[in-house]
Amino acid sequence: MPQNFQANQRQGEWWQHLRSRALRFGRLFAKFWWIVLFTTAAGLAVASWLVFQQKEVYVSTGRMVVSGRINIQQGASFSEELANFFGTQVELMKSAEVREKAASELAAREPQLQAVPVSLTVSQLPQTSIFVLSTTGSEPQYTQKILDAIMQEYVAAKKEMRSLKSDSTQMAITDEISRIERDIRQGESELLAFQKQNNVGYLEQEGNSAGAYLATLNRQLADLRTQYELLASLDIDQIIEKNQKEPAQAGDKPARAVEPDSDSLFSDALRPEEEYLQAKQRLSVLKAQRDEFAKDLRPKHPQMVELGRQISEQEMLIASFRSQSVDRLKSRRDAIKHQIDTLESAIKEWSAKALSLSQRLAEYNRIKAAVDRSKGLYDRLVNNLHEIDVTRNLDQDLVSVLEKASPAQPVKPGMARILTIGTTFGLLIGLAILMLMFQIDDKVVSTLDLESRFDEHVLVQIPSEKRKGLLEPLKANDDRHAFAESLRALRSSLLYLPFEGGRPKTLLITSATPNEGKSTVAVNLAITMALAQVRVLLVDADLRRGTLHRVFNRDCHPGLSELLLDRMPQEKCILPTSLPNLNLATRGTSIQNPGEIFLSAGVDQFLRDIYESYDCVIFDSSPVLAADDTTSLAPKLDAALMIVRFSHSSARLSKKAIELLKDRQANVIGLVCNDVSQAHQEYYHYKYPEYYGQQAGSV
């Protein structure tokens, strides 16, 4: 899940980056579109001049219909040979042989015509089999006549090729038929010779009989091997027990000469088995009696002695029975082994005989199949030869002249191509110039640009407002809802964002270069703070060209410069405005070296005097890169905001200005994006007008 989220995030960032670059290029194109128009017009002008300098030539055009081949074969089917067909025809029309023959034919027919170099082009109309042929030359009559000659010579060449192909095909088929006839005669001779030496019917019958007999012998051999293995693996007691369990089977199955039944063999080998079993039973009874008497009698008691004697006799009798049975069992195994050897010899002999019969039958089938294949191929070739004779005049390409060569018309060769190339080349040069400007231009056009180029936090995006002249400052219940809400967002950021050492009280508003909107942001931020019941002092610290007094319709003098240089009382230099909680300190008299004044102790004293009197002091300063004034004042204040104006501010210069401030130990707390288009996708706030009503401007 986190991997999918990261992948989606990377994809979104990539799409935003691409859209940002497209937006940047679109704005650049909207501003410098005339460069592309100029280069395109210049390329068209150069191409037109080249066309004007070319000599006039004559062009004649004709048309031909060239279809595929009609094949009248089995079922009178129609097919066209389209694979590489049309490309081949174009090359044939343009071939040197066709053109040379056409030129020779024209020279012989009309010797008065002057031969001139002629170029030939061939094209095919889309979705048709119609070819358009065009000749271009410096002499109109020859250009027209040579095109007619080329088309006629192409038709003649096609006929000649068809005739040669038919003759060569017929000859090849005839030769192949002769070869196959020889193969058939040779195969029939071999087949006849084989039949003279072998009776095919006898071979088939004997082969089947031999196979059946071999199957029977193999079954008998398998049975005997099973019996032999059983006799070798079972002891005499197991064999007797087996015969006792299946007496009927052992007694009823007759013995066969070559396939005896295993139970019958056991029965024959152990005929005294009943006496053997009776002896074992008597032995068990005697031992049981001896054990019973042993509880009451001593071993030397006459009864115990008699029982011991009887037990010994039974054990000797059992041993004798076992010895006789083992001898008979061994004899039976030897007999079965002899039968196995006899069957194996018979199987080997009959296998060789069956293999010989099979080989002779296979040879017969091979010769017969070869003869049949040759006869089938012979029949097909004879049919093909007959079809060639029948359809010789019908099997042809559909080739005809649709339109003869038109009268040659004067044209400028390659005019359209030259004009197109010139126009395209001019367009590409213009776009290349724009792309070069695009690579050089580093103006900020999106929040993504800021985030990728700056480490500072973007505090707010202030939307652009349509206006005539200077932008009017905010007022209570202002109907510029998006503009007002962005300033409120900036106010909230300054009031609630975490800062080390507490919330900044003295704030510097600056920018890298002029015309980035720092004064507008400073004025409206001060008004927004005052509307929130915050005691605000707005100071015009641009002692060279400050204009805040014009915004509030106040006199420029006295102001900050008089307060710092002449030690004029604050009551005369700090003036109230029409908005409660907002006071203004104008710039005063313009001076040439404000940086030295900002480094003086008077500024420190001024800051100490106003620090406790106001909740927020906002300084509107000069641009950082325009003079050293701001870098001298910024370190003495709590924080600084850098204004970046979309589609105007240079990212390189803004970054340089921030570095200068940081080098002077100024606390740059963030960036303010100014003049952001509300239609921009990254401008995600204040797009819902239904949230703004009569009380939208209240704080």
For 332-347, the pLDDT digits (tens) are 888 888 888 888 888 8
pLDDT category at 79 given cuts 50, 70, 90 is very low
Q: Read off the tokens for 522.
A: 């400073």
Q: Is residue 668 part of a domain?
A: yes
Structural domain of 566:
447-465+478-685
For 264-277, the pLDDT digits (tens) are 444 444 455 667 77
Do 230 and 316 touch, CB atoms closer than 8 A?
no
- Cβ within 8 Å of residue 458, ≥6 positions away: 447, 450, 451, 670, 671, 672, 673
Same structural domain, 403 and 427: no
Q: Read off the tokens for 352.
A: 């060789």
Q: What is the pLDDT of residue 697?
A: 41
Measured CA angle at 210 (ends 205, 216), to 5 deg:
130
Same structural domain, 279 and 371: yes
Phi, psi at 622, each rounded to 5° = -80, 160
Q: What is the pLDDT of residue 507?
A: 93
Do 416 and 81 touch, CB atoms closer than 8 A?
no
Q: Is residue 650 part of a domain?
A: yes
Same structural domain, 50 and 61: no
Same structural domain, 428 and 520: no
Q: Is residue 187 part of a domain?
A: no
Same structural domain, 82 and 27: no
Q: How many domains does the chain have?
A: 4
Question: By percentage, how much of the chain surpasses pLDDT 70?
Answer: 82
Do 511 and 622 touch, CB atoms closer than 8 A?
no
pLDDT category at 84 given cuts 50, 70, 90 is low
In angstroms, the CA 288 to CA 294 distance is: 10
Quick one: average pLDDT of 644-664?
88
Q: What is the pLDDT of residue 500?
A: 72
pLDDT category at 536 given cuts 50, 70, 90 is very high
- For the entire predicted model, the pTM comes to 0.47
Q: What is the pLDDT of residue 508?
A: 94
For 175-188, the pLDDT digits (tens) are 888 888 888 888 88
Q: Is residue 188 part of a domain?
A: no
Q: What is the pLDDT of residue 683?
A: 53
pLDDT category at 129 given cuts 50, 70, 90 is confident
Sheet holding 536-540, edge to edge: 458-463, 668-676, 639-645, 506-511, 616-620, 536-540, 582-585, 574-576
Residue holding tokens 């004997």?
A: 206
Dihedral of CA 109/114/120/125: which sign? negative
pLDDT greater at residue 451 or residue 133 = 133
Q: Is residue 694 part of a domain?
A: no
Question: By percentage, how much of the chain surpasses pLDDT 90?
Answer: 10
Given a cut of 60, whether residue 256 has pLDDT beyond it is no
For 565-596, the pLDDT digits (tens) are 877 888 888 889 888 899 999 988 888 888 88
pLDDT greater at residue 684 or residue 181 = 181
In angstroms, the CA 447 to CA 456 distance is: 12
Q: What is the pLDDT of residue 5?
A: 60
Same structural domain, 217 and 349: yes
Q: Is residue 508 part of a domain?
A: yes
In angstroms, the CA 97 to CA 157 distance is: 9
Given a cut of 50, whether residue 261 has pLDDT beyond it is no
Same structural domain, 540 and 423: no
Given a cut of 60, whether residue 402 has pLDDT beyond it is yes
pLDDT category at 253 given cuts 50, 70, 90 is very low
Domain end point (choices 323, 357, 390): 390
pLDDT greater at residue 77 or residue 681 = 681
Same structural domain, 27 and 85: no
Query: How far apart, in Å, are the Cα atoms of 349 and each of 149, 224, 259, 355?
Result: 86, 19, 19, 10
Can you give the CATH number for the domain in which 623 is found?
A: 3.40.50.300
pLDDT category at 553 given cuts 50, 70, 90 is confident
Q: What is the pLDDT of residue 509?
A: 94
pLDDT category at 665 given cuts 50, 70, 90 is very high
What is the pLDDT of the chain when averaged over all its residues? 79
Same structural domain, 225 and 265: yes
Q: What is the pLDDT of residue 262?
A: 43
Q: What share of the chain is helix, strand, coil (3-state, %, to 5)?
A: 60, 10, 30
pLDDT greater at residue 465 or residue 613 = 613
Chain centre to alpha carbon of residue 104: 58
Beta-strand ranges (E) seen in 503-545 are 506-511, 536-540
For 1-13, the pLDDT digits (tens) are 556 666 666 666 6
Same structural domain, 423 and 460: no
Do 59 and 411 touch, CB atoms closer than 8 A?
yes
Quick one: average pLDDT of 103-112?
87
Do 624 and 662 touch, CB atoms closer than 8 A?
no
In angstroms, the CA 593 to CA 601 distance is: 15
Given a cut of 50, whether residue 457 has pLDDT beyond it is yes
Quick one: average pLDDT of 88-100?
85
Same structural domain, 625 and 508: yes
Q: Is residue 645 part of a domain?
A: yes
Which range, 68-72, 415-419, 607-611, is most confident? Answer: 607-611
Q: What is the pLDDT of residue 344?
A: 84
Q: Is residue 191 part of a domain?
A: no
CB environment 653-687: b (16+ within 10 A), e (fewer): bbbebbebbeebebbbbbbbbbbbbeebebbeebe
Same structural domain, 61 and 31: no
